[in-house]
């Protein structure tokens, strides 16, 4: 049995064509069903529906053989393991180029970020991406107090909880709707395939077949 961990929404939708390229059709729709284990047309392949941030954990501990998750989530997970995904028992063979977005710093349109940085002010930064934010501001030499949030980061500067946020940006519409502006582009993000290192050894042939089919589907 091969088990693939996915999260609902964009990653799930954009993974379906890759699975099809590997001859795998998911037989249930996670938006309609409450089932957390989805069957496929291949009796020996199943899909787990988990929270995006839990994908690396499922794969690391062997609850799933493979998983697909954003580079942002992987960096944050790896930070708990000395910063390396391989130290967390994860093999990361392929950038799938799906669910593409960027991780950026944003502030209220009326906040003068450039001056605050130039003056060496201590910035309050709200984010779910603490490791990425810490590394970015440390490299830039900006002192920050990081405030960990689990969602709706855009709200923090509006109510004075923080001066800035570090969050994923895709179209920029959410920032615009909340009168926030992007002031730094930290990195581009896309979804990555991660594989449990032990599973790769034990189920070499079936996992390789999936990796190769995904690779040719994304043109690599």
Site for ligand AMP in 128-167 (CB under 6 A): 167
CA distances from 113 to 12, 93, 106, 124, 156 (A): 36, 38, 9, 12, 16
Based on the number of CB atoms within 10 Å of its own CB, is 120 exposed (0-12), middle (13-18) or buried (19 or more)? exposed
Q: How far is the CB of 99 from ligand AMP (least distance, A)?
A: 4
Under 8 Å between Cβ of 67 and 56: yes
x-marked contacts with ligand AMP along 96-125 as a string, rule CB under 6 A? ---x-x------------------------
Structure tokens at 181: 């502006």
CB of 14 to ligand AMP, least distance (A): 9
Only one residue has tokens 């990361």, namely 92
Query: Does the protein bind ligand AMP through residue 170 (CB under 6 A)?
Result: yes
Q: What are phi and psi of 98, to 5 degrees?
A: -115, 170
8 binds ligand AMP (CB under 6 A): no
Q: Which stretch binds ligand AMP (CB under 6 A): 85-93, 118-126, 169-177, 198-206?
A: 169-177
Nearest CA-CA partner of 105 in 124, 119, 120, 122: 124
Q: Provide the minimum distance between the beta carbon of 147 and ligand AMP in the complex, in angstroms, as a whole number.
A: 16
* Residue whose CB is less far from ligand AMP, 26 or 101: 101
Dihedral sign, Cα of residue 78, residue 211, residue 215, residue 172: negative
CB under 6 A: which stretch of 14-22, 40-48, 130-138, 168-176 binds ligand AMP? 168-176
Among 174, 178, 197, 206, binds ligand AMP (CB under 6 A): 174
Q: Is 10 in the site for ligand AMP (CB under 6 A)?
A: yes
Closest CB 29 distance from ligand AMP, rounded Å? 19
Length of the chain: 220
Q: Where on the chain is the footprint of ligand AMP (CB under 6 A)?
A: 10, 70, 99, 101, 167-174
């Amino acid at each position: 049995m091969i088990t693939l961990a996915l999260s609902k929404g964009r990653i799930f939708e954009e993974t379906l064509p890759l699975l099809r390229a590997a001859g795998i059709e998911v037989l249930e729709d996670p938006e309609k069903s409450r089932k957390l284990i989805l069957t496929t047309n291949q009796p020996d392949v199943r899909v787990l529906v988990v929270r995006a941030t839990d994908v690396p954990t499922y794969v690391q501990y062997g609850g799933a053989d493979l998983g697909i998750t954003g580079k942002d989530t992987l960096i944050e997970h790896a930070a708990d393991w000395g910063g390396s995904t391989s130290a967390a028992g994860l093999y990361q063979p392929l950038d799938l180029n799906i669910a593409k977005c960027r991780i950026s710093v944003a502030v209220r349109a009326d906040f003068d970020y450039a001056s605050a940085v130039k003056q060496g002010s201590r910035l309050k930064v709200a984010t779910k991406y603490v490791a990425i934010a810490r590394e970015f501001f440390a490299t830039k030499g900006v002192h920050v107090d990081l405030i960990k949030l689990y969602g709706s980061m855009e709200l923090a500067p509006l109510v004075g909880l923080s001066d800035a946020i570090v969050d994923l940006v895709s179209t920029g519409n959410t920032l615009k709707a909340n009168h926030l502006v992007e002031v730094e582009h930290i990195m581009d993000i896309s979804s990555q395939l991660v594989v449990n290192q032990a599973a790769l050894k034990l189920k070499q042939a079936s996992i390789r077949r999936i990796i190769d089919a995904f690779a040719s589907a994304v043109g690599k």
